[in-house]
Amino acid sequence: MTSVARIKLPPWSRLIALLIAASGLVLFLGGGYLIALGGSWAPAVIAALMLASGVLLLRGKRSGVLVYLAVFIVSLIVTLIESGDRFWGWVPRMGYVTGLGFFVALMLPFLYGEGKRNLGRGLAFACIAFAGAAFVGAFFPHYSEILADAPSSPLVAGGSAVERAAQKDSEWKAYGRDDDATRYSPLKQITTQNVGQLKVAWTYRTGDTPAGKFAAETTPIMVGDGLYLCTAMNNMVKLDPKTGKELWRFNVGLKHESLPYTAACRGVTHYVSKISNETDACHERIVEATLDMRLIAVDAKSGQPCQGFGTNGQVDLGLGMGKWVPGQLAVTSAPPIVNGTIVVNHQVLDNQRRWAPSGVIRGYDAETGAFKWAWDVNHPGNLWHEIPGPGQEYSRGTPNSWATMTGDDSLNMVYVPTGNSAADYYSKTRTDSENRVASAIVALDAGTGEEKWVFQNAHIDAWDYDMGSQPTLFEYPGAGGEKIPAMIISTKRGQNFIVDRRDGKPLLPVEERPAPAGNVPENPRAPTQPWSPGMPRFGFPDLKESTMWGMTPFDQLYCRIKFRQAHYVGEFTPPMAPPQPWIVFPGYNGGTDWGSVAYDPARGILVGNWNATPMYERLLTRAEAEAIPLYSIDNPKYKPGAGGAEGPGAMEDTPYAVDVAPFMVPGLNTLCTEPPYGMITAVDMHTKKVIWQHPLGTARANGPFGIPTYMPINVGTPNNGGPALTAGNLVFVAAATDNLIRALDIATGKELWSDVLPAGGQASPMTYSVDGKQFVVQMAGGHHFMMTPAGDYVVAYSLP
């Protein structure tokens, strides 16, 4: 009786065979669970072949090579079916398989004899070539499109944008540059031809980087002889716009305990008194609303408080708010001043309790700081004409507004982007009045607070689709050639609406489409939701299991399983009763947020950078919340760090708490959906078609486990902050998590210049000129939620 000698593999080959077998076993178990959840059979089939190949190779069987060849071929077929030409979809499906295939090819001479050495080397080289081609391909543009020529003429001939701006070309007098919030400057010293020569002109350090909550989000303003800004701690500063030298600083005395979720101060407001003389103190003043609920006015020349404004230059915004604690209420955006009325909104820390403090909107006299009115949707008549007295307070739990509002002097209106009622994910106790105005643009009479109209972006919102973007005003051509005062409403959903700002009526079609219902008892969803088919959407198609992603098949399988475990039926997937999780896409950081869009009125081009990031959410029973423990910030049991604007929220006064998180792989800190996650898009407003669209943000400062790759792969990262446009045919934008500021050609989106910022650039840039020299300024303060480096830098660029 004879025996067949088993082929003895070298130790490294046995280790590879063991790795193949172990990988196959793990993936087979996971793939089997995926099948049980109703998912694809493909991962389990490939894993079974991988397991068989590994076992056969461990036993020294030649057939192990043939079975591994089947692993490669089946993986390739599945990749072609599931991913097609989506480049990033190939990474988890073929990268790991190809890497192991390289070593299997080198086993050939040990299994088949020396005669197969060259074949083995050839196959190994083919694996290297395949992987190398993929690596090189990562540096080429993907998901980039140039679809049309950019227009060269205004949307409306002789539009009044310049007149309404009422400022010199050299200035940037408001957060959005002008009263229309266009973020467009007519300056053109810096052009597409010379922008590559930009160099740092000066850098200013604010000295404020609050530990753990850093995210200044500041855009300075430039008026007259000063560049004015606020720091992350609300301190106001005037700089020499030519040199960056500090001319004065007003310290507001903000305490760290007053910081809300984020230490953000997006900007300050410039105002010229209508009743004082030019030589009087505070004839020109800088106005700021703070994170600890104060309204402050200082003299623009000296930085000293305006004594005739409130008490020693300050107004207490906490009056009438009832019970609240530091960090629960804050103003993060520059308040607009409309025909002498300062209009103030404020954020209410998300998801703390249903009966949180009010989201009331208030008007104050810009000269004296005197209270004028308050718009409170649950108060009889919706208006207060005096501050609530003892035993009274503004209606609790009403929708708040935290984003930058837009004022319209010509119509005497202020346009308020509203958020949701308190307790974002539970709607049973909301009033009809709250549901009518939440997650909308609400137009108020700036002089009286009277409500003029409402345009809603999401009905009975349970997705945190609050309006983060500042409305942009522009002139729209009517059917008879007339100029219609219009508004661009950009949303977290990526929907872009165009309305008549006189009455809020749509100028392009708005469709009410059926929306899914949930199963949370007595928590009904709206039967329809609004869509804007007449404008390009800043977003991607609905998620599928096949678009789940990972760096390897292991994390991709994890994401596939998590996808199947969750409830998901497309946009407006509703909250589900515990313990069922659900997926929201786009999530609360999707579409366009507080950075807002920019509009070039000289050419009729709209530019917006946006996110495509999903959220994974679950309602928690009250017992689960207490076990965490999870309490509202105003509860004596609350512990700092346990619940905030993002992440788990107590939602006290309701049956549930909520857990909200980006849909990511734990530990790896990579999103579960295919890149890109951030894009920038230009739209021709003449045709309502996309001109170009590109991923925004490289992998140079990003990577698995938070480790930077230092590679300029334009993967498209999450971003916060908006663009600025110039008559030099340029788009300036930072925002992405690669810590770069960029200049793009507005006609094509091609990157013409970039520079590495000293910290994260989560803020919108601005531009101005002094003595004929144009500067571009970017705040580099970082952002804790975006996981970019903290800093306190204001960086100015100019031509040599």
Residues designated as active site:
464
Sign of dihedral through CA atoms 204, 403, 774, 777?
positive
Q: How far apart are CA 771 and CA 687, in angstroms?
A: 39
Q: How far apart are CA 600 and CA 606, in angstroms?
A: 6
E-assigned strands of 231-330?
236-239, 246-250, 269-272, 284-289, 294-299, 314-316, 329-330
Alpha-carbon separation of residue 6 from 3, 65, 116, 777 (angstroms): 9, 15, 18, 71
Per residue in 769-795, is it b (16+ CB within 10 Å) or e — as a string? bbeeebbbbbbbbbbbbbebbbbbbbb
Alpha-carbon separation of residue 19 from 6, 291, 306, 323, 381 (angstroms): 20, 54, 72, 60, 71
Smallest CA-to-CA distance from 369 within 333, 344, 393 is with 344
**The amino acid at 605:** I
Q: How far apart are CA 602 and CA 150, in angstroms?
A: 12
Alpha-carbon separation of residue 288 from 249, 334, 348, 757 (angstroms): 13, 6, 18, 27
Are 441 and 363 spatial neighbours (Cβ–Cβ below 8 Å)? Answer: no
- Which tokens hold the place of 596? 């807002």
Q: How far apart are CA 414 and CA 373, in angstroms?
A: 13
3-state secondary structure 262-275: CECCCCCEEEECCC
Q: How far apart are CA 118 and CA 114, in angstroms?
A: 8
Q: How far apart are CA 436 and CA 449, in angstroms?
A: 17
Alpha-carbon separation of residue 337 from 235, 365, 690, 767 (angstroms): 20, 9, 34, 22
Pairing of strands 724-726, 184-185: parallel
Q: What does the DSSP 8-state code read for residue 167?
A: S
**The amino acid at 358:** S
Residues 6+ apart with CB under 8 A from 12: 103
- Which tokens hold the place of 421? 């009622």
Residues 6+ apart with CB under 8 A from 718: 589, 611, 613, 677, 678, 697, 736, 737, 786
SS3 401: strand
Please count the other Cβ atoms lying within 10 Å of the Cβ belonging to residue 437: 22
3-state secondary structure 92-154: HHHHHHHHHHHHHHHCHHHHHCHHHHHHHHHHHHHHHHHHHHHHHHCCCCCCCEECCCCCCCC
Q: How far apart are CA 44 and CA 26, in angstroms?
A: 10
Q: How far apart are CA 687 and CA 148, in angstroms?
A: 10
- Which tokens hold the place of 573? 């997937």
Relative orientation angle of helices 42-58 and 11-36, to the nearest 10 degrees = 150
**Residue entry with tokens 């207060």:** 384
Q: How far apart are CA 792 and CA 206, in angstroms?
A: 5
Are 196 and 517 spatial neighbours (Cβ–Cβ below 8 Å)? Answer: no
**Residue entry with tokens 């929907």:** 495
Q: How far apart are CA 311 and CA 743, in angstroms?
A: 45
